[in-house]
Chain A
Amino acid sequence: MSDRLSSAEAALAYQRQWFADLHGAVADGAPFALVNADTPHEILRTMGIPYVVNQWWASIVTAKGRTQDYLGLLRERGYPDHSEQYSSIALGSLFDPDPGSAPWGGLPRPSLVLAETTGDASRKVFDVWDEEPGTTFYPLESAARDDVPPRWWELMPRRWEEAVGSDRLDLMVEELVGLIRFLEATTGREFLETRFREVMALANEQQEWNRRTRDLIARARPCPLSVTDSIPGVMVPQWHRGTTWARDAARAFHDEVAARVAEGTGVCPDERYRLMWVGRGLWFDLDFYRRFQRTHGAVFVWSMYLAIAADGYLRYGGDPLRALAARFAAFSDQLYTPPWSAEWYVKEARHHGVDGVVHLVSDDARGGYFTTRALRAAGIPVLELRADNVDARSADKDALTRTVGDWLDNEVAPRT
């Protein structure tokens, strides 16, 4: 019997059909946006503008083994192939001389690309998009705070003004107003406040289901599903949030996990160690997550995708546009800026009762010291694994496997 969740399979099937339909819609002249994960998707949803998430497309391309082809196409045009790979793969695919050979029939050419001006180079990837005829880049400011509230996850659902900061929200609301006006003017689509409120309410409902699912998994022994199921089970609906399908998909995912927990079903018959994966998905080697079930009885019970859905998205009360600004204004902080990130990972590690953490540290500016330090200070063994999550040139699969195996044998096993 396949131990794959049917809800995860259903989500992937839905995404395939949606993507196929998207090709037809774009061919018929519909506007289409390529957007970063931490941008206000809900505005596009409200206006009925279809969009694909840049990082999702990079993960598909990488899982299908096409990353190096696309990085090579960037290199041929004088752009770096060792910088911002996760953000730039979709751009590389634009230059594919045989787009029909691309995964899922290829990415349609966007009329809009949307991203925050984070980092030193990620906005430049979108500047290159902006040079393409018919494609416009709408950059959004990315602001930061001097001081940080402790335990942000408790504040975010209702006290988001306090968590994010009023200056930052004032700015982001203005950014959103500008974006809406731009989209109204360029697409002719309507932004209806009543529809927007529905979208925001559906998104909250969806994340409430994700929160319940996260808490179920945290308490469950044995672990009822693999990370490679939880990621599509959460993220495909996440990219469709604000729709009834996505809300219902999140509920179906929850119900299936709940049934497994009730039955005592586990994905690893000999579960001995519960592991947490900190970092982006290792898209070039998805089998990695299950490899240690067979050899060590070690199960990855946590990845950020479900957990950030549970803690990072809920926003109630206030003006809906301001609530939306609060949803994405501090998104990167929650995952990558200490103490926001470090304290949250410790909270989640304790909540899930993990025996160890594998922390993916890429060769970029985000670093990982303070997350690792905080987890170790909480008494949790941490392995820092050095690799880029989409560029397989950065690491040898066998070496990664050996490193984790040795760590399980030498650090995790003696402590459990």
Chain B
Amino acid sequence: MPAATTATSARTASRESTASSALAQLTAHAADRMAAAGEWRAEGRPVIGYVGADVPVELLTAAGALPVRLAGSPGAGTATGDRYLGHGVDPAARSVLTRLLDGDYGDLDGLVVSRDCEASARLFYAVRELRRVEPAVRLPPAHLVDVLHLPHRSTTRYVRAKVAQMRATLETWTGRTIADADLAAAVEAHDRLRQLLGEVAELRRERPARLTGTAVLAIVAATTTLPVRRSIELLERLHAHPDTLPEADGARVFLTGSGHDTTDVYAALEDAGLLVVGEDHDWGDLLFHRRVREPTELGLAERYQYNGPSAPRASIRRRAAHTADAARACRADALLSYVRDHDDGPLWDFPAQRAAADLPAVLVDRQPYGSLTAEALASAAGLTNQLGGIR
């Protein structure tokens, strides 16, 4: 073999290895969400868990803590969480509380909960009350960051006060003052991460797609457990050579409805012949599409107030417009709303979303946490038949 060809092959192999290994590492961190936290803690640094995409993670990074977004575990049982939250709460929150009480997240130095949905609020209230009335139960100190979303200046002022309050709480927890320079560096890093996530998410929308929806969901999830600079490094490696990744195929569907904190549902849908080219929940595209305008408490308040529109907090009209625009931007051929049992917001959104998107659309509701019923899966897979040869 000529030397030049050998060198080219070696370069190609190296590029493939670079992108593939970055993807493998990200996927592994999505599966083992506390692995990075263990390493971080071993170096004597604080680990703070958080619930919901409305938590300004920049403050956690600026405080020198590792922010770890808490996810549930479908199929692992939620008996403990059920006891405290009742069966009427979104099972994802019941699962998170169960895992907290079972010690699955290790020794967290704190827990920050946003009011991104009613289940998160109820989770916070349960933790607060358990710490008060059952102090023998081991739970970290908890803080509620009450980010609100009506599009008013008065709301911004309130959210800014909540950002400042969270900053003060973190300073107490970590014993370290958050300097403005720390905050600016953290904002810059998290915005860079958001930019990269946006670029990586585009890879599933290309023809041919270079990532599945399942892979993108795992990548996003991994970046909510890793130190932000480590996430940036891995995403840069992944994005440098996307053409070396295997092609993905399937009927192009935009996913709305409930959020997904694990890849189970995506994997089931894509095994059934769909390709999730975009979504409007905050474990996916909705997490990273908006940047921070300036590295201040006000900048953070505006970013988190106006990020969205999420199903639990946005109006039907705003949600429908966003879904239609996003589905169009993703060049989706169909709309699928997957709604988990006890996640009520998306049920009210669907009629307007369907009308606005003007695509073949299916709603599968009252689904078990982290899976689909056989009937729902058949209904979702039926979109591939409706789409015929469109791929």
Q: How far is the CB of B285 from chain A (nearest CB, A)?
A: 20
B218 CB to closest chain A CB (Å) equals 26
Q: Which residue of the partner chain, among A144, A167, A367, A373, contacts B161 with CB atoms under 8 Å?
A: A167
Contact A121 B345 (CB under 8 A): yes
Let me know if B344 and A80 touch, CB within 8 A.
Answer: yes
Q: How far is the CB of B120 from chain A (nearest CB, A)?
A: 10
Q: Which residues of A contact B354 (CB under 8 A)?
A: 78
Give Cα A364–Cα B87 distance, bound, in whole angstroms.
Answer: 8
* Alpha-carbon distance A130/B165, docked complex (angstroms): 35
Contact residues of B between 162 and 221, Cβ < 8 Å to A: 162, 165, 169
Evaluate contact between A141 and B148: CB separation under 8 angstroms.
Answer: yes
Interface string of A345-375 (1 = CB under 8 A from B): 0000000000000000111111111100110
Contact B315 A120 (CB under 8 A): no
What is the CB-to-nearest-CB distance from B352 to chain A, in angstroms, rounded to a whole number?
A: 8
Chain B 323-365 near chain A by CB (<8 Å), digits 1 or 0: 0000000000000000000111101111100100000000001
Q: Which residues of A contact B226 (CB under 8 A)?
A: none
A178 to B150, CA, bound (A): 13
Is the beta-carbon distance between B351 and A78 smaller than 8 angstroms?
yes
A143 / chain B contacts, CB cutoff of 8 Å: 146, 148, 158
Contact A370 B345 (CB under 8 A): no
Compute how far the CA of A216 lies from the CA of B215 in the bound complex, rounded to whole angstroms. 65
Chain A residue nearest to B315 (CB atoms) is: A127
Shortest distance between the CB of A115 and any CB in chain B (Å): 12
B348 & A124 in contact (Cβ 8 Å cutoff): yes
B129 touches A146 (CB 8 A): no
Cα–Cα distance between A364 and B89 once the two chains are bound (Å): 6
Residues of B within 8 A of A128 (CB): 316, 348
* Min distance, Cβ B70 to any Cβ of chain A, angstroms: 18
**Interfacial residues of chain A within 366-390, with CB under 8 A of chain B in the complex:** 366-370, 373-374, 377
With contact pairs A361-B86, A370-B126 given, residues A124 and B349 touching in the complex (Cβ less than 8 Å): yes
Interface membership of A171, Cβ < 8 A: yes
Closest B residue by C-beta to A118 = B118
Q: Confirm or deny: B312 has a beta carbon within 8 angstroms of a beta carbon on chain A.
A: yes
Query: Using Cβ atoms and an 8 Å threshold, which residues of chain B touch A84?
Result: 344
Q: Which of B149, B154, B165 contacts A171 (CB 8 A)?
A: B154
Q: Is A174 an interface residue (CB 8 A)?
A: yes
Cβ < 8 Å to A, chain B residues 118-150: 118-119, 121-122, 125-126, 128-129, 132-133, 143-146, 148-150
Query: How many of chain B's residues have a CB under 8 angstroms from any CB in A?
Result: 53
The answer to whether A338 has its CB under 8 Å from any CB of chain B is: yes
CB contact between A366 and one of B88, B133, B149, B344 (< 8 Å): that residue: B88
Interface: A269 (CB within 8 A): no
Are A120 and B117 CB-contacts (below 8 A) given A128-B348, A370-B129, A373-B133? yes
In the complex, whether A139 has a CB less than 8 A from a CB of chain B is: yes
Do A79 and B157 form a contact, CB below 8 Å, given A167-B162, A362-B88?
Answer: no
Contact B143 A367 (CB under 8 A): no
Q: Is B270 an interface position by the 8 A CB rule?
A: no
Contact of A339 (CB < 8 Å), options: B86, B132, B158 = B132
Tell me the A165-200 residues at the B interface (CB within 8 Å). Answer: 167-168, 170-171, 174-175, 178
Q: Which residues of B contact A366 (CB under 8 A)?
A: 86, 88, 122
Cβ-based interface call for B282 (8 A): no
- Set of chain A residues within 8 Å of B157, measured between Cβ atoms: 170-171, 174
Q: Please determine whether B344 and A127 come into contact, CB atoms closer than 8 angstroms.
A: no
Of residues 55 through 72 on chain A, the ones whose CB sits less than 8 Å from some CB of chain B are none
Most buried by B among A80, A146, A364, A377: A146
Chain B 273-326 residues near chain A, CB threshold 8 A: 311-313, 315-317
Contacts of A78 in B (CB 8 A): 350-351, 354
Pick the contact of A79 from B148, B154, B162, B348 — CB < 8 Å? B348
Q: Specify which chain A residues have a CB less than 8 angstroms from the CB of B313 in the assembled complex.
A: 117, 120
Partner of B348, one of A118, A121, A130: A121
Most buried by A among B115, B125, B312: B125
A125 at the interface (CB under 8 A from B): yes
Determine if A146 and B165 form an interchain contact, defined as CB atoms under 8 angstroms apart.
yes
Q: Verify B86–A141 contact, CB threshold 8 A.
A: no
- Assuming the contacts A123-B315, A171-B155, A174-B152, asked whether A365 and B89 have C-beta atoms less than 8 A apart, the reply is yes
B88 touches A364 (CB 8 A): yes
> What separation, in Å, do the CA atoms of A368 and B118 have in the docked complex?
15
User: When chains A and B are docked, how far (Å) is the Cα of A145 from the Cα of B311?
Assistant: 23
| Across-interface contacts of B144 in A (CB, < 8 A) | 144-146
* A319-346 vs B, Cβ < 8 Å mask (1 yes, 0 no): 0000000000000000001110010000
Q: Is A83 positioned at the interface, with any CB of B under 8 Å from its CB?
A: yes
A119: interface (CB < 8 Å): yes
Q: Does A365 lie within 8 Å of B83, measured CB to CB?
A: no
A415, CB-defined interface residue at 8 Å: no
B109 at the interface (CB under 8 A from A): no
| Interface contact B118-A120, CB-CB below 8 Å | yes
Residues A121 and B344 in contact in the complex (CB < 8 Å), given A127-B315, A338-B129, A370-B129: yes
CB of A77 within 8 Å of the partner chain: yes
Please give me the residue from chain B that is nearest to A121 by CB atom. Answer: B344
The CA of A339 and the CA of B144, in the complex, are separated in Å by 15
User: Which B residues touch A168, using CB under 8 A?
Assistant: 158
B58 within 8 A of A: no
Residues of A near B143 (CB, < 8 A) are 146
Give A112-153 as 1s and 0s: 1 = Cβ < 8 Å from B's Cβ atoms.
000001111101110110110000000101111110100000
Residues A83 and B344 in contact in the complex (CB < 8 Å), given A120-B118, A367-B122? yes
B125: chain A residues at CB < 8 Å are 337-338, 370
Q: Is the CB of A367 within 8 A of B89?
A: yes
Say how far B349's CB is from chain A's closest CB, in angstroms.
7
Chain B residues with Cβ below 8 Å from A125 are 348
B85: Cβ under 8 A from any A Cβ: yes
Contacting residues, chain B, for A373 (C-beta < 8 A): 133
Residues of A within 8 A of B126 (CB): 338, 367, 369-370
How far apart are the CA atoms of A199 and B272 in the complex, in Å?
Answer: 63
> 26 pairs across A/B with beta carbons < 8 Å?
A84-B344, A120-B119, A120-B311, A120-B345, A123-B315, A124-B348, A125-B348, A127-B316, A130-B317, A141-B152, A144-B144, A145-B144, A148-B128, A171-B155, A171-B157, A337-B125, A338-B126, A339-B128, A342-B129, A365-B88, A365-B118, A365-B119, A367-B85, A369-B86, A369-B126, A370-B129
Q: Known contacts A124-B315, A124-B345, A367-B89; can you find 12 more A-B pairs with CB under 8 A?
A: A79-B351, A83-B347, A125-B348, A139-B315, A141-B152, A145-B144, A175-B154, A338-B126, A363-B87, A365-B118, A366-B122, A367-B88
A-to-B contact residues, CB < 8 Å: 77-80, 83-84, 117-121, 123-125, 127-128, 130-131, 139, 141-146, 148, 167-168, 170-171, 174-175, 178, 337-339, 342, 361-370, 373-374, 377
Q: Which residues of B contact A (CB under 8 A)?
A: 83-90, 115, 117-119, 121-122, 125-126, 128-129, 132-133, 143-146, 148-150, 152, 154-155, 157-158, 161-162, 165, 169, 311-313, 315-317, 342-345, 347-351, 354, 365
The 5 A-B pairs with the shortest beta carbon distances in the complex, nearest first, are A174-B154, A124-B348, A367-B86, A120-B312, A78-B351
